[in-house]
Amino acid sequence: MISSFFQLIWIGLASLLGAVVIWAIAPERESVEVCDPGAIKPSEICLADALASESTVVWVDARSRKEYEAVHLPGAILLNTDPGENWDEMLAVAMQSFFDAELVVIYCGKSGCAASEEVAKRLKDSVLGQMGVPVKVLYGGKKALVAAGKL
């Protein structure tokens, strides 16, 4: 009887230790609001729709170079309006991907982080607008990508 009691204690402690280890090493999953395509702004797109699109999608990371270099969606292009960056040079690189894109999706840190809206506006007003390529801002930004396990 006593032996069973101690076994239970040991099992309990081992489970607790396992939980602590998983909590410590598991990648962080940030909470993100559920994206309702009917409720978002016309300039935005839900991650599920962007991923399901049959168009040739080009992803743009509008965060800082430091954040981009730390982690970014595979294939995403860095394009931001930071003053230390040369917009013209970055755009010339991005155009190598844009010229045959059918949809450009831009993300920054999170919803309302403004950087992706800013880049989207500049692209719509210039090259992508003139090429007729739709530009969308990812609803939820990087947080949505992290929550979906894409980053």
Which of 13, 55, 71, 150 contacts other proteins by CB under 8 A? 55
- Which range, of 15-23, 30-38, 101-109, 142-150, touches other proteins by CB under 8 A? 101-109
The phi, psi pair for 96, rounded to 5°, reads -60, -30
Which of 87, 124, 148, 151 contacts other proteins by CB under 8 A? 87
Nearest to 105 by CA among 70, 71, 147, 140: 140
Residue 58 as a binder of other proteins (CB under 8 A): the answer is no
Distance CA 100, CA 138 (A): 20
Which of 122, 124, 148, 151 contacts other proteins by CB under 8 A? 122
Q: Which is nearer to other proteins, 132 or 149 (CB)?
A: 132
Nearest to 115 by CA among 75, 142, 134: 142
Residue 33 as a binder of other proteins (CB under 8 A): the answer is no
Residue 103 as a binder of other proteins (CB under 8 A): the answer is yes
Q: Which is nearer to other proteins, 20 or 48 (CB)?
A: 48
CA dihedral 116, 122, 125, 126 (to 10 degrees): -120
Enter the tokens of residue 21.
């280890």
